[in-house]
Structure 1
C-alpha cells in the first residue's frame, strides 16, 4: 500500500517568532552542482525550469539568467509545471527510503504542501486545467491524484492504474491516458473512475512524451526512438539513436530528439509526421561538437522553436529547431563563477572559511578576504588553540595542523579508516572513524589512544573528563547516548527516548543534540538538551518527520539548528523560545557566531549573514574565483 505522510513541524515547549520571514532567490547564470535531471517548459515558451541532484529549481528566462532556489537537500529527479506557469511540482528522493513530492508557488517561493510516498515516484504531471497533481508510483496502486490546491488525495479512479511512467489528461479533464512499462496504453473515464480501454503496445519504454496533440506517444529503449499510436498502440516508427533524449512537446506535430555519436558529437534530429500515420526517416537539423569535460546531454525540453538542453555536468544550453549545415558548438548559458566554501568557523576577529584550494579569514563588517594558507583539497576544519586542523570527511587522508604563529602546515596522523569527524577539545583532538571507533590524539605528546569502539556510532565530544558518545540504540549497550569516564573508561548508558542520537554540541553545563525516534505510526526528530548533573533530558523542538542530517551549534545561551532542513532556528535556553530566520536561495548546513554576527554556510557553498537582532538575511555572499566576495 502507498502510504502518504504530510510533512509538518511541531515545536514543543517553544515559541516560534511570528515575524514574516522572507525567502529570496539568487539570480545568476551559475550552473547546477551535479547532474540536471529534468527540464519543464512553460506553455508560452517564456521560461523553463531545470531540476537536479543539487536540490535546486532554477527558472530560466529569455535573458539567460536563472532564478535559483534550493527546495531540497536531496536530488530532484522530476519536475512538472502547472498551466499557470508559476506552480511547480517536484519529486525529491534520496534514492532509497525517502520519496517526496512537493508543490511550490515559485513566484512567492512558498511550499504549498509536501507528500511522502512509500514507493518510488515514476511519473509526475499536472492535469490539463491544473486541478490535480498526478503522481505515478512503483506500486500496484499506481497513480495517485492530489488536489493541486491543497495536496489532499482525490478519489478520482475506481480502477487502479498499476505502475505507470506517463499520465496525462484530456483538455477537459474527463479522460486520463497512462502508459505502463508492462506494455499497455490505458484510458480511464475520470467522471466515473473506470477503465474505458486498454491497448497493447511496446513495453519498457522510457522518457515517455506525447505529441501531435496526444495522437502519438514517444519513448526510448535500447538506443532506439519509438513513435507509438496512442489510438491503436501500434509502433508507427522506430529509429536507432545513441543515448537519445526526447525534446518533443504535446503541441508538436513532429518528433524531435537529440542523440550522440561514438565520438560524442550530437545530432538534433526530427521524424517528420506525414499525416498518414507514418513518419519520415530521421532528418538531421543540426550537428554539434562534443561537450567539454566529457559531459553528456541528460534532459531537454521544447517550446515553439526554442529548445533547452541540460547536461550531466550541471550546464544548461539553448538552441532552436532551425536547420544548419555547419558543425556547431553548444555554448552553455551557464557558468561556474564561484568557489565552493566547504566549511566555516568562528575566529577571534571574525570568521574562517575553507575552500578546496585555500583557508581564508574574513568578516561581514570589513568584507576583506585574507588568505591565510593554501589548502590541499581538505573538506573540513576544526579550530583549536594556535591554529586550525584540516581534514577530509569520508577519506583516509592525513589529518593536518596549520600553525598560525609559524604559518606552516604539519601532518598530525593518518587515520586507519574513513574519517567521520575531527573535533578539538584543548590538548585533545577527538577523531571518529567509520561509525566504529573513537580515538584521541594528544597534541603535547603525539600519542593516539582508542577511547571507545562499537558500531552505529554517530558523534562524540568531550566535556570535562567525560566522553559523550552518540549512537544507534540498536547496538550494545542499547542506548543512543553514552558517557565514558576518560580515566577509568567506565561506560554509562544515558536515559533518552531515541533510536539514534547525532549532532552533539555542548555548553559548560549541558549537552545538546538531535534525537530520532520512529515506530509503525510516526517518525519524529527532536532537538534536545541533556543535563549531566541532573541526568535530565529535555526535548526543545520537535519535527514530525525524520531528519537524519541536522546540525546543532551552541553560542552564548542559544542553540542553533536546521531541524527540518529548510531554515535556521535559534532556541533561547533561558526564555525557552525559538526564533526562525529567513532563508536565502540555498539551504543551511552549518551556523557559527561571533558577537552579533551569525554566518550560515549553505549547501551551495555560499555564506548568509545575519544579525542577532534581526531574522532577515543581511546578505548572501559568494566567493569569486579571484578570492573576493560577491554579494546578492
Structure 2
C-alpha cells in the first residue's frame, strides 16, 4: 500500500497578464522537462465565488490579499489584476500577512468540525505547514518580528503560539489568555497585548510567560484593530464604533454607525471606517485623534452610492491612503482616503468573466461539459465547442445509452433525459426528497435520496422500485447484478459496505475496516471506493478495492487524515482519485503504483478520462487537461459566456 506523505514539491507560479486564446502556446517544454511538478496561479480580474471574508494589506501598500468562502487566496496589485490560487476546499475566514510580506497565514474551516491554520509562501505557492485545532479560531496574527503565528481560539486555553518557521507549538506563555479575539506584540516581541470579549485588555511578559497587567474595558467588541502605534483599540458593537485606550481600557470615543467596517491599521493615527445608510449607500468616515486621548466627531471623507446587484461591503483594509473593500458578492473595490464632496460610484475591479462548468463526463469522441445553461461536447485536441442542448440549470449529468441524464444534487427537481438521436429532453421521474446521486446501469437509473433510500427507475417501463432504505447512506452502484451500498458503519447493519440481492433483497454486510465508505466505482466485478476511519488518536482515509469473489478488501492508497469528499474514477486499469483534495492521483492496479498530476490554480472535484486524455473539473468551474504519459498540466481552460474556450 502506498502512503501519501506530507511532501510538498517545488512549485513554479505561471503568471499570465490576461486570458490567452485557446491556441496560444503556454508551456516552454524544456523548462518543464527540467523542473519537478509545478502549481500554477492564474492572473485575471475574476471575482471570488461567494462572500469575501478577509482582506489583508501588504505593509508597503503594493498589494492586498483577499480570502473567502470559495477557498481562494487572491493577491491584488495596483494594475487591478489578481493572482488567484485556491488554498482550501473550505471557507477561509481569516488571513494575516507576515511582517516581511513573504508568507500569509490562513484560517480554514467547514464551520463545524474542521478548524485549520495553514501558512503559505505565495511566491512559490507552497504550503509550509498546516495545523488543526479542536476549537474555532477567533483571531490570527503574526508577532512583530514574524517569529510566531499567534492563534486565538474559542477555548479557555486561549492563544497558541506557532513557530512561523515550522509550525511547532512554542511554549511562550505560562498564564493562559483565555478566549481572545485580538493579539498584538511589541516591536521587540517581549510583550503581548490581547483583547478578550469578556471585557479585558491583558498584557503578558513573553520572556517569563507571566501576566503583567489586566485592564477592564468595553466587552463583546468585534472586528478588533489597533491603531496609533497600538495605543488604541478599535472595535464595533451594536452599530457603534468604539475607540478604547490600550493603556487604561477606558473608552475614548463611541459613535453610532450602521453596519460599520473598520479600515484602520496600526500605523494610522486616526480611526477610519465605512458605514452604510438605510438606503444602502455608504460613507467613508474618520475619527480624528486629537492627541489628548480624545477624538473628533465623525468626519465624512466620501459618500458612495449603493453597490450594484444589492451587494454589501463585508470587509476592507487600508494601507497608506489606499483602501480595498470586499463585497458579499465576491467583488473587490478600491478607493482612497482623499476627501471628495460629490457622491461617488464604487466600480468593481472584478468581473464574472467565464461560465462555470458544473459537471464533466467522458463521451465517445471527447468529453461532455455541463453549465447552467447548456450541455457541450468538446475535446482538448480539437478545441471546438459544440452545444448539444440547452440546460435548465441542472447541476449534474450521468451518461447513459443514447443520451445524458440531467439532475440537480440536493434538490427534488425532476430528473430528465436528453436523447441525442431525437434531440429532445423528457422527464424521467421526480425524487421524493433531495437527490444525492443518479447513475445509469443499462436499463436501470439508480438514485440515492437524502442519505436514506436507494431507488431504481426502469427506463423501459417507467416503474420505480425502492431497493434499500436505511440511515447514513453515502453511495450506491450496481455491479454484476448486485446492488452495493456505501454507508456509515454507525447505522444498522453495522458495516460501511453492503451487498444487496436485486431480486430477493437479501442484505449481506461486507467486511471492511471503515467508519464510512463513499465514492464507489466498479469494473470487471471489482469495487473501488474511499474508506474513512476516525479514531481518537488517528484519522485515516484509504482508496480501497474490494473483490466480492474473495470477500476481501485491499487498501491501495493511504492518507493520514480525514477526507470525506474525494472521488474515484476507473479507466483502463487505473483509478483516479483526489484523496487529500489537493491533487489528482492515478493508481495503476496491475503495477500497484501511484503517481500524481500537478495541480492547477483551483482544486479538483472530478476527473474523467478518454484514451490518453484526462479532463479534471476544478472547483472554480475550469477544466485542467492532462496526458496520461505526462504529469504536468497541459492547459487550463475556462468557458466564456459566449461558449468558447480561453486558456491559461
Fold-level similarity (TM above 0.5): yes
In structure 1, the residue matched to 2:28 is none
In structure 1, the residue matched to 2:25 is none
User: Which one of the candidate residues 441, 447, 462 is aligned to 2:463?
Assistant: 447
In structure 2, the residue matched to 1:193 is 209
User: Which one of the candidate residues 165, 177, 202 is aligned to 2:181?
Assistant: 165
Give me the whole-angstrom Cα distance separating, in 2, the residues matched to 1:39 and 1:525. Answer: 34
Structure 1 segment 118-129 matched on structure 2, within 5 A: 118-129=134-145
Shift of 1:489: 1.3
Specify the SS of the correspondent of 1:293. Answer: helix
Shift of 1:19: 8.0
In structure 2, the residue matched to 1:334 is 350
Shift of 1:246: 0.1
CA contact (8 A) 1:224 1:239 kept: yes
Normalising by structure 2, what TM-score? 0.95
In structure 2, the residue matched to 1:436 is 452
In structure 1, the residue matched to 2:159 is 143
Stretch deviating more after TM superposition (281-290 or 508-517): 508-517
User: Which one of the candidate residues 51, 64, 68 is aligned to 1:35?
Assistant: 51
Q: C-alpha offsets along residues 133-160 of structure 1, whole Å, 9 cap, x if unaligned?
A: 0000000110000000000000000100
In structure 1, the residue matched to 2:268 is 252
Give me the whole-angstrom Cα distance separating, in 1, the residues matched to 2:455 and 2:236. Answer: 53
In structure 2, the residue matched to 1:562 is 578
In structure 1, the residue matched to 2:476 is 460
Specify the SS of the correspondent of 2:178. Answer: coil
Structure 1 segment 403-414 matched on structure 2, within 5 A: 403-414=419-430
Structure 1 segment 348-363 matched on structure 2, within 5 A: 348-363=364-379
In structure 2, the residue matched to 1:324 is 340
Give me the whole-angstrom Cα distance separating, in 1, the residues matched to 2:319 and 2:433. Answer: 51
Shift of 1:523: 1.0
Specify the SS of the correspondent of 2:64. Answer: strand
Give me the whole-angstrom Cα distance separating, in 2, the residues matched to 1:295 and 1:419. Answer: 31
Specify the SS of the correspondent of 2:309. Answer: helix
In structure 1, the residue matched to 2:604 is 588
CA contact (8 A) 1:465 1:487 kept: no
In structure 1, the residue matched to 2:24 is none
Structure 1 segment 390-401 matched on structure 2, within 5 A: 390-401=406-417
Give me the whole-angstrom Cα distance separating, in 2, the residues matched to 1:259 and 1:21. Answer: 46
Q: C-alpha offsets along residues 2-56 of structure 1, whole Å, 9 cap, x if unaligned?
A: xxxxxxx9349xxx99982200001000000000000000100011100000000
In structure 1, the residue matched to 2:19 is none
Give me the whole-angstrom Cα distance separating, in 1, the residues matched to 2:394 and 2:116. Answer: 33
In structure 2, the residue matched to 1:270 is 286
In structure 2, the residue matched to 1:134 is 150
RMSD of aligned alpha carbons: 1.2
Specify the SS of the correspondent of 2:357. Answer: coil
User: Which one of the candidate residues 578, 601, 607 is aligned to 2:594?
Assistant: 578
Give me the whole-angstrom Cα distance separating, in 2, the residues matched to 1:541 and 1:21. Answer: 20
In structure 1, the residue matched to 2:231 is 215
In structure 2, the residue matched to 1:154 is 170
Give me the whole-angstrom Cα distance separating, in 1, the residues matched to 2:465 and 2:157. Answer: 55
Specify the SS of the correspondent of 1:327. Answer: coil
Give me the whole-angstrom Cα distance separating, in 2, the residues matched to 1:557 and 1:465. Answer: 21
In structure 1, the residue matched to 2:317 is 301
Give me the whole-angstrom Cα distance separating, in 2, the residues matched to 1:396 and 1:631. Answer: 36
Q: C-alpha offsets along residues 183-241 of structure 1, whole Å, 9 cap, x if unaligned?
A: 00011111111111111000000000000010100000000000000000000000000
In structure 1, the residue matched to 2:564 is 548
Give me the whole-angstrom Cα distance separating, in 2, the residues matched to 1:439 and 1:463. Answer: 16
Q: C-alpha offsets along residues 64-91 of structure 1, whole Å, 9 cap, x if unaligned?
A: 1000000000000000000121200000
User: Which one of the candidate residues 62, 80, 95 is aligned to 1:64?
Assistant: 80
Q: Are positions 1:10 and 2:3 aligned together?
A: yes
User: Which one of the candidate residues 116, 124, 131 is aligned to 1:115?
Assistant: 131
Q: Are positions 1:289 and 2:305 aligned together?
A: yes
Give me the whole-angstrom Cα distance separating, in 2, the residues matched to 1:280 and 1:398. Answer: 61
Q: C-alpha offsets along residues 385-443 of structure 1, whole Å, 9 cap, x if unaligned?
A: 00000000011100000000000000011111110100001111000111111011111
Shift of 1:517: 0.6
Shift of 1:522: 1.1
CA contact (8 A) 1:337 1:624 kept: yes
Give me the whole-angstrom Cα distance separating, in 2, the residues matched to 1:22 and 1:168. Answer: 36
Specify the SS of the correspondent of 2:369. Answer: strand
In structure 2, the residue matched to 1:381 is 397
Give me the whole-angstrom Cα distance separating, in 1, the residues matched to 2:325 and 2:57. Answer: 11
Unaligned runs of 5+ in 2: 11-33
Shift of 1:509: 2.9
Give me the whole-angstrom Cα distance separating, in 1, the residues matched to 2:635 and 2:257. Answer: 48
CA contact (8 A) 1:11 1:540 kept: no
In structure 2, the residue matched to 1:599 is 615
Give me the whole-angstrom Cα distance separating, in 1, the residues matched to 2:460 and 2:115. Answer: 49
Give me the whole-angstrom Cα distance separating, in 1, the residues matched to 2:35 and 2:581. Answer: 20
Q: C-alpha offsets along residues 287-337 of structure 1, whole Å, 9 cap, x if unaligned?
A: 000011111100000000000000000000000000000110000000000
Give me the whole-angstrom Cα distance separating, in 2, the residues matched to 1:409 and 1:518. Answer: 44
Give me the whole-angstrom Cα distance separating, in 1, the residues matched to 2:510 and 2:558. Answer: 20
Give me the whole-angstrom Cα distance separating, in 1, the residues matched to 2:639 and 2:441. Answer: 30
Normalising by structure 1, what TM-score? 0.97
In structure 1, the residue matched to 2:21 is none
In structure 2, the residue matched to 1:5 is none
Q: Are positions 1:402 and 2:418 aligned together?
A: yes
Structure 1 segment 466-505 matched on structure 2, within 5 A: 466-505=482-521
Unaligned runs of 5+ in 1: 1-8
Structure 1 segment 223-234 matched on structure 2, within 5 A: 223-234=239-250
Give me the whole-angstrom Cα distance separating, in 1, the residues matched to 2:264 and 2:149. Answer: 22
1:321–1:390 CA distance, 2 compared to 1 (3 A) = same
